[in-house]
Amino acid sequence: MAVTLAFSLSPPAASAAAWSSSDRWGTWNNGGYVVRNNIWGDGHGSQTISADSYSRWNVYANHPDTGGVKSYPHAAKAVNKRLSAIGSLTSSYNVSVPGSGAYATAYDIWADDNAFEVMLWMTKTGPVGPLGSFQVRAAVGGHTWDVYRGSNGHNAVFSFLRTSSASSGTVDVKAVLNWIRARGWWGDVTLGEVQFGYEITSSSGGKNFTTNSYSVSGG
């Protein structure tokens, strides 16, 4: 048992992956997607991303136990269409995540040249929370969410927090985006990227975040 634990806390071997990077802004293009290490926050620690493909990748992150988001390693699919021109848009994911630390497994969806940001929180661990104020509990896109609305000073942010964590599933992304439009929070926006990854606030001692699969269909 001790040997298994030692391996689980070690960074993944770069040689086992098609691509690996410890650079803050490490980026890899694969299969029409972009995979990014994306260590963007202040006071961050170290982080290595290792990918077999856009759909299968691992992050070993050792960020200090302090406040503030340190990173958002993710894979992204560009859509670049108006909402009304999208016939369907769904995404599926499967992850293995640590039971401690402070982070969210989340989609980050951008629209109108990043004027709008939609976050779909699929799992949540530790003292992390959304921007803005609670609006309503809603069942849309195949899940039930607590919906928050706010701003980070640069763009409007709509946060959908799944009422219970799910390490795998499928989301009808278009249904969520149309729900936002129906409430009058935005219009016929142009969708940019659909990103999926881990918004990490702390992972002291080193923790592994593994994307077993991720894909976006339609658009």
Has residue 43 got a pLDDT over 80? yes
Contact 49, 35 (CB under 8 A): yes
Summary mean pLDDT of the chain: 94
Task: Work out the pLDDT band at 151, boundaries 50, 70, 90.
Answer: very high
CA distances from 121 to 81, 161, 165, 189, 190 (A): 23, 5, 8, 21, 22
Can you tell me the distance from the alpha carbon of 78 to that of 139, in angstroms, rounded to the nearest whole number?
Answer: 26
Per-residue confidence (pLDDT) for residue 12, from 0 to 100: 45
Q: How far apart are CA 144 and CA 2, in angstroms?
A: 39
pLDDT value at residue 4: 37
Do the Cβ atoms of 119 and 147 come closer than 8 Å? Answer: no
* CA–centroid distance for 39 within its chain: 13
Residue 8 has pLDDT above 70, yes or no: no
